[in-house]
């Protein structure tokens, strides 16, 4: 059985649609290369995914005795989380609904 290290982030306050743009750029890359890409990616999701990849690397090294330089992002995905519903008062007593979306992000690293 192949070793793998995982890291999860549940209910990140950013929509999964915005996260997917960022994670598509690093899927299948070496973990260290992915961190370099994320560091200079100008998107709101980039720092969140950066921390998650760092966490997955730490899990791999500390819990599974894997070599950090040989880690590859084998899986990374973002699913829709719970949606917080808020109300925005509008003219003539109406109320519009605001949906504050969240996402669940998962990173799986394997050793090359």
Structure tokens at 110: 């394997």
| Other Cβ atoms within 10 Å of 1 Cβ, number | 3
Q: What was the pLDDT predicted at 2?
A: 81
Question: pLDDT per residue over 20-35, tens digit each?
Answer: 999 999 999 999 999 9
Q: What was the pLDDT predicted at 32?
A: 96
Do 108 and 56 contact (CB within 8 A), yes or no?
Answer: yes
CATH fourth-level superfamily of 4-111? Ribosomal protein L22/L17 (3.90.470.10)
Do 22 and 45 contact (CB within 8 A), yes or no?
Answer: yes
- 3 state DSSP class of 42: coil
Question: pLDDT per residue over 66-95, tens digit each?
Answer: 999 999 999 999 999 999 999 999 999 999
């Amino acid at each position: 059985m192949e070793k793998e290290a995982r890291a999860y982030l549940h209910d990140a306050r950013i929509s999964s649609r915005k996260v997917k743009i960022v994670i598509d750029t690093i899927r299948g890359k070496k973990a260290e290369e992915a961190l370099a890409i994320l560091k200079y990616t100008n998107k709101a999701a980039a720092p969140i995914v950066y921390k998650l990849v760092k966490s997955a690397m730490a899990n791999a090294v500390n819990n599974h005795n894997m070599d950090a330089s040989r880690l590859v992002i084998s899986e990374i995905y973002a699913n829709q989380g719970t949606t917080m519903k808020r109300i925005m008062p509008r003219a003539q007593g109406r109320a519009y609904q605001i949906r504050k979306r969240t996402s669940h992000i998962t990173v799986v690293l394997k050793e090359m």
